[in-house]
Amino acid sequence: MQFLATNDPLALAVVEAIRGGHIDTLKRLLADHPGLAQTSIGGEADGRKPQQSRTLLHIVTDWPGHFPRGAETVAILVTAGANVNAQFIGPHTETPLHWAASCDDVSVLDALLDRGADIEARGAVIAGGTALADATAFGQWKAARRLVERGAKTTLWEASALGLLERIETMFSTAVPPTEEITRCFWGACHGGQQETAQYLLDRGADINWIGWDELTPLDAAGRAGANSLVAWLYHRGAKSAKELRGV
């Protein structure tokens, strides 16, 4: 893989073309610089492998995503030789699909999958998981549901956050998880605003007042999600906020 420094004029030009949706400029740059589609941005000035770098497909899918003509840009880059499953070089190994999922950019997500992106590729910032792990953890629900539609496998936590009760019941029929996992999944159901799933998990031993991720209880997570009916149901069942539990 070739590397370009972030401030290299060619790197600046191709990033601007991608983010601006300037398709003609992108095609010209690719034609004028053979191998550019396989280049990673973030290299050292002398071309050495950097501690962190991202491919051009990562740039298409970088936060906040939804860049103009993003799906078309993916097609052009893959046709030019970009590796649709290339990994980020850095503290994690996310693929472009992970980044598209994290941005809720469904059209780009579809474009990547249509061109061979591995839906089960690992490397997420969330426990090294798949793109679905990122999408559910970050509340990118359109992308999460599209991944499931496209055949993504789900962990119990992911199924809980998405309210996929049939999948959850199947998992429970095989082996009942430990109470700690049930509690974490209950928190995930509240994070996703999934009342029916939350009730199923609470009835199976979940701790209604566990303080979980972001120092939030299930009640706090439901409130953050704007799930007002779930919040009311949780209150009725004795749920408390983290502040209440800490006496703040």
pLDDT by 10s per residue, the chain, length 248: 789 999 999 999 999 999 999 999 999 999 999 999 999 999 665 656 678 899 999 999 999 999 999 999 999 999 999 999 999 999 999 999 999 999 999 999 999 999 999 999 999 999 999 999 999 999 999 999 999 999 999 999 999 999 999 999 999 999 999 999 999 999 999 999 999 999 999 999 999 999 999 999 999 999 999 999 999 999 999 999 999 999 86
Distances (CA, A) of 57 to 67, 103, 157, 159: 12, 14, 29, 28
Count CB atoms within 10 A of the CB of residue 85. Answer: 14
**Which amino acid would we find at residue 49?**
K
| pTM of the shown model | 0.94
Closest CA to 118 of 143, 151, 90: 151
Cα–Cα dist 126/123, whole Å: 8
What's the CA gap between 37 and 76, in Å, rounded? Answer: 9
CB of 10 closer than 8 Å to CB of 33:
yes
CB 74 within 8 A of CB 114: no
